[in-house]
Amino acid sequence: MASSQELSDFLRNIERRAFKQTVYAVRDEHVALDIVQDAMLKISEKYADKPVEEYPMLFQRILQNTMRDYWRRQKVRNLWTSLFSSFSSGDDEDERDPLETIDVEDASKDPMAQLERGQTMQLIERALEKLPTRQREAFILRYWEDMDVAETASIMGCSEGSVKTHCSRAVHTLAVVLQKQGLGMKAITQLGVES
Amino acid sequence: MTDNTNQTNTESMEVDAKLLAKVLDMRANRLSMRTLKQLEDARMRAVRLHEQKTAGIVNTGTGTLGRLFYWAEHHRTFVTGMILTILVASLIVIQLNSYKVDTDAMLLGSELPPEAFVDRGFEPSLNQRVNFDEPEQVTSIKV
């Protein structure tokens, strides 16, 4: 059984990636935060007796299921909001919080370099967001979460062959999209990433 | 030859994918202070819940009562519905009882025996008697 400290360390280790992964899927930071929080509470509530080694797979499965629940609810909600959309005035958008724009860990001091780097990263993120859901899931689990093909297949509920196909298509699509934007792998390496 | 080409392609794809994953990692490390704070709060809440679960303070599901509370917490709609049904049923029973008490009091306080009210022929007979009791108008005097 995992101790509370082990759970805390595990969550601290994955929380940022889990949040970004959810943002790529739902494209809304507030909703992504809610989903990640739900997943954290579910793993601590329902799987408190599991060893910490099982947490990465369990957490990913919970996260994927929570996202699916959100999409199901959203489908029903969209039906109603589309019916009443003509009554909304569109004045209820949130004001932008200055805290949202502060970058925490960016040691680079050259503003131009920061800007270019930020733009390149945004392009990559947008390309990832545009991938079909299954391809994005497979890519993130396999390469970002560093899971093997069998684990990814188990989380996604499909065969290992499907995972390989999804991953291959995802990488191919990303490469094509980035090439079109004038971003080859060389440009990505120049971001300061070591392959 | 073809196998070698395929293998090289796969390896190059893996390298590209890992490179992109590292960019995503960099991006994940540039979250806003507010987001980081909210994630930390969520984590603390989860850890606190885990502590409670492992210490068996709240709803551990180990004892009978604990299991009952745990079940109730996860079936809120059903439990709320059950409580409401019990409340409505209790209200109906109380209303019926008070009606019975009133009827009993009326029957006991009456001058007539309770059987009289049960008898179907009693009321018409009572009405007839009432008509009898009324003084008849004398239309002609017989000598």
Q: Is A100 on the interface with B (CB under 8 A)?
A: yes
Using the beta-carbon criterion (under 8 Å), do A105 and B42 form an inter-chain contact?
no
**CB atoms inside a 10 Å sphere around CB A22:** 24
Quick: pLDDT tens for A130-143: 899 899 999 999 99
Q: Smallest CA–CA separation between A20 and chain B, in Å?
A: 6
Quick: pLDDT tens for B19-67: 888 888 888 888 889 999 999 999 999 999 988 888 765 444 455 666 6
Using the beta-carbon criterion (under 8 Å), do A193 and B23 form an inter-chain contact?
yes
Using the beta-carbon criterion (under 8 Å), do B17 and A48 form an inter-chain contact?
no
User: Between B7 and A23, where is the model more confident?
Assistant: A23
Quick: pLDDT tens for B55-112: 765 444 455 666 677 677 767 888 889 999 999 999 999 888 877 777 777 777 777 6
Kindly state the tokens that stand for A51: 């060893």
**Residue A123's pLDDT is what?**
85
The interface predicted TM-score (ipTM) is: 0.74
The single-letter code of the amino acid at A47 is Y
Q: For chain A, which ranges sit under pLDDT 50?
A: 90-96, 98-99, 101-105, 195
Judge residue A84's burial from the number of C-beta atoms within 10 Å of its C-beta, 0-12 exposed, 13-18 middle, 19 or more buried: exposed
Judge residue B54's burial from the number of C-beta atoms within 10 Å of its C-beta, 0-12 exposed, 13-18 middle, 19 or more buried: middle
pTM: 0.62
Q: Computed from CA positions of residues B63, B65, B70, B75, in that sequence, does the dihedral angle turn out positive or negative?
A: positive
For testing contact with chain A, the best of B12, B15, B30 (most A CBs within 10 A):
B30
